[in-house]
Amino acid sequence: MNTATLSAGTLALLLLFFSLFFQTFQQTDKLQEEDNPITRFQNYLRINTAHPTPDYLSAISYLKSQAQSIGNLQTQIFEFAPLKPLLLITWKGSNPTLPSILLNSHLDSVPAEPSKWIHSPFSAVRSSDGKIYARGSQDDKCIGMQYLEAIRNLQLKQDFQPLRTIHISYVPDEEIGGFDGAAKFAASKEFRDLNVGFMLDEGQASVNDEFRVFYADRSPWHLIIKAVGMPGHGSKLFDNSAMENLMKSVEVMSRFRENQFDLVKAGLKANSEVISVNPVYMKAGTPSPTGFVMNMQPSEAEAGFDVRLPPTADPDLLRRKIADEWAPATRNMMYQVRNQ
């Protein structure tokens, strides 16, 4: 058996080499861990795009950088309304003369109340059980990132090129009606030039690998019900006071909501297949320096409801129900439907 004795200098040099090797390996491994679909999603969630002041520019800048990191994707930014940019990403197909595919997602999200959250709504904290806490995570920044991650996998890992050109649109203002976002985009020459043959947008979340695809969406009705009545002292009982009439309507609408929800709970229908009615605000009372006058019955009372109609619902029947049962003129009530 031959043996060799390492000098102290050689041994030190080998130890230094292995030390540097493992440091480099650990740094590379850490870098890969930090740059993955989950962390890229979290980075997007940390951009505050909640109303009333959504940071559209930062969101678009981030999404554009992600598209550029994939490669072979074209990006365009349109502004159909001041300070409300729209990002369009294009993956050119092998036969661009065919009608294209458009995948849509919106940039904005509804407001958040930070004090009511376990974690800050824009921290995108990931808990030990895998849950990510962030405003807009499901509605619908997850979809916006899934589009890019799917293309990343298809293009970089499978060297795939689609037959048709695929566009991804990131639109502003969806949560406040979309009038300065998708509506103006759809009416533009830029949209017509895309030659869209099929479009896919957000839908229902799924907890497994099964996804339901819908060919229509529920129609949002912003219903405002207003009641009027004789004002008077808080100690007296009046017939048809504003608050009494409004409360009667709320009770009737609550029973309707409960009946619709029972169908969902029983598994007979999905959430998207019933008429949902949700109260969102109530306004009444006589203001005072310390809040409201407690011994005064107001002459007006108002409540707002977010009503959603599935494509199978008859809007005329619902209008009659509102006029006859929810806000009847016989009880000194009136109503208004917005975003119809």
The DSSP-derived string for 262-318 is HHHHTTSS-GGGS-EEEEEEEEES-EETTEE-TTEE-SEEEEEEEEEE-TTS-HHHH
Query: At what angle are helices 142-152 and 37-45 packed, to 10 degrees?
Result: 150
87 located within any domain: yes
293 located within any domain: yes
pLDDT in tens, the chain (340 residues): 444 455 555 555 555 555 555 554 444 444 445 789 999 999 999 999 999 999 999 999 999 999 999 989 999 999 999 999 999 999 999 999 999 999 999 999 999 999 999 999 999 999 999 999 999 999 999 999 999 999 999 988 788 999 999 999 999 999 998 999 999 999 999 999 999 999 999 877 777 888 778 777 889 999 999 999 988 888 988 888 999 999 999 999 999 999 999 999 999 998 889 999 999 999 999 899 999 999 999 999 999 999 999 999 999 999 999 999 999 999 999 999 987 5
Please tell me whether 251 is known to bind a ligand.
no
Q: Which residue from 226, 215, 220 is spatially nearest to 249, judged by alpha carbons?
A: 226
Please tell me whether 167 is known to bind a ligand.
no
Residue 324 annotated as catalytic: no
Q: Which helix (H) or strand (E) holds 61?
A: helix 56-70
Q: What is the pLDDT of residue 340?
A: 56
- Which is catalytic among the residues 173, 174, 180, 302? 174
Residue 68: how many CB atoms within 10 A of its CB? 11
List the CATH number of the domain containing 72. 3.40.630.10
In angstroms, the Cα distances linking 58 to 85, 147, 173 are 11, 19, 15
How far apart (Å, rounded) are the C-alpha atoms in residues 122 and 49? 9
- Which is catalytic among the residues 108, 140, 173, 302? 108
Residue identified by tokens 């009667």 is 248
Name the residue range of residue 271's domain: 219-338
How far apart (Å, rounded) are the C-alpha atoms in residues 272 and 55? 30
DSSP string, 201-220: ------SSS-----SS-PEE
The pTM assigned to this predicted structure is: 0.75
**Same structural domain, 55 and 196:** yes
Residue 244 annotated as catalytic: no
Give per-residue burial for 136-148: e unless 16+ CB within 10 Å, then b: bbebbbbbbbebb
Please tell me whether 193 is known to bind a ligand.
no
How far apart (Å, rounded) are the C-alpha atoms in residues 327 and 187? 36
Domain boundary among 136, 165, 200: 200
How far apart (Å, rounded) are the C-alpha atoms in residues 68 and 38? 18
Please tell me whether 139 is known to bind a ligand.
yes
**Same structural domain, 225 and 194:** no
Q: What is the pLDDT of residue 25?
A: 45
Domain boundary among 170, 200, 230: 200
**Same structural domain, 94 and 180:** yes
Q: What is the pLDDT of residue 28?
A: 44
264 near 270, Cβ under 8 Å? yes
91 located within any domain: yes
141 near 109, Cβ under 8 Å? yes
Dihedral (CA of 232, 235, 241, 245) sign: positive
**Same structural domain, 83 and 168:** yes
